[in-house]
Amino acid sequence: MRKFNAFKRYFGLLFLFIAPFVIYELISGALKHIDTKKTELINSPVNWIVIIAIFTPIAIGLVIFGWYAFRGEYDHLPQKSKELDV
């Protein structure tokens, strides 16, 4: 069980670093590929705004999950509803 908890903590640390990198790559890719002449459909600014608007909250959620996992909040998960703190 200890190995699994360590795995969760390392995975959380990985999420902490990957999520901001993904957002950076999305924004830099959008800045490179946006074409105001709209010669290709994928290079439209509206498409990139929608893609970034969808994936930014997902990345923020991954950062929050990574932070909690790194702190050890998921080391003990309740097995029964009686173990839940209300």
Q: Extract the residue ranges of the chain whose pLDDT is less than 70.
A: 1, 36, 38-39, 85-86
By residue range, what is the domain housing residue 47? 2-75
Flag whether 68 is in a domain: yes
pLDDT at 78: 75
Total domains present in the chain = 1
Flag whether 29 is in a domain: yes
Flag whether 41 is in a domain: yes
The token pair at 46 is 């509206």
Dihedral sign for Cα atoms in the order 76, 77, 80, 83: positive
Q: Model pTM greater than 0.85?
A: no
Q: What angle do CA 35, 36, 38 make, to 5 degrees?
A: 70
Question: By the 8 A CB rule, do 22 and 55 touch?
Answer: yes
Flag whether 22 is in a domain: yes
Flag whether 80 is in a domain: no
Distance (Å, whole) CA 49 – CA 54: 9
pLDDT at 38: 64
